[in-house]
Amino acid sequence: MRAALLAAVVAVTSAPHVVAADCAFVGLSPKVITPAGTVVPGDGGIVVAAMPDSQGRLDPGDPAVRSWKLRIGSDTVKPPVDVIAPGLAVYRVAAANVFQVELVTDKGEVVATVKPSRTTGDALAAPSIKRAWFERTGSRHGAQQVAVELGGARPAHVVALVLADAKGTPKSWTTIADTTAAGSPLFPYQARDCQALPNGTTPTKSGDTVTAFWVDAGGRRSPASKPIVVN
């Protein structure tokens, strides 16, 4: 399987694509972005994202959705998995009377350890988007992205910002780490030459009307922002 020249224009599928001759192609692999030890509410879960990986596969379907299981004490169960956006999924952790729950791969490798809770926690506020704009970067391998400037403070413990259309259908997203500088623009849509994007990713361009919502470490999503036109 080969990659698209601009992977954002055509997301990864089982069909072959054209690739630049000098591309060092980057695929996708599932990665837990919920920090270890997170207290997960009864209506939440563990967030898994399809992240760029030079050893990543190009399988059909959503790279974030795997047949991983929850280990609760001596038992293992298959959790419900909800896809929040293309390449971004939540493995639901029902409230249980245990100290911790582990998410394990098919090979038994522990990829996440969280603490279940019966409480729901404080509600997330919708993002306040002050400005959104599309830009291209000129380089040997082209790239395009959409940047957003927040109109207010970023909530604590959020792990992703999802970009959606005016009706709320998710299009793309970006992860947010504790090291992400407060006040700096976020880039919920980025497409680079030679790098795959999850199946179902929808490009965003100037003139599109979009909304956005937060996803926190416990797998909860915020209400959507007010619609804004991308400049």
pLDDT band at 97 (very low <50, low <70, confident <90, very high): confident
Sheet of 75-77, strand order: 39-40, 110-116, 101-104, 69-72, 75-77
Is 129-229 a CATH 3.90.25 domain? no
Give domain 27-116's CATH architecture: Sandwich (2.60)
Q: What pLDDT shows up at residue 137? A: 78
Q: Per-residue pLDDT for 227 more than 90?
A: yes
- The boundaries of every CATH 2.60.40 domain in the chain are 27-116, 129-229
Interval 24-66: pLDDT, tens:
678 999 999 999 999 999 889 999 999 999 888 788 899 999 9
Mean pLDDT estimate for the chain: 87
Interval 157-209: pLDDT, tens:
999 999 999 999 999 999 998 767 878 999 999 998 888 999 999 999 999 99
Q: What pLDDT shows up at residue 215? A: 98
pLDDT band at 138 (very low <50, low <70, confident <90, very high): low
pTM for this entry: 0.88
Contacts 24+ apart (CB under 8 A), 209-212: 209/165, 209/166, 210/132, 210/146, 210/163, 210/164, 210/165, 210/166, 210/171, 211/163, 211/164, 211/165, 211/166, 211/168, 212/127, 212/129, 212/148, 212/161, 212/162, 212/163, 212/164, 212/188
Distance CA 76, CA 185 (A): 41
Of residues 20, 25, 45, the one with CA closest to residue 215: 45
Distances, alpha carbon 143 to alpha carbons 17, 51, 184, 225, in Å: 18, 17, 19, 26
Instruction: Output 195 or 5, whichever has higher pLDDT.
Output: 195
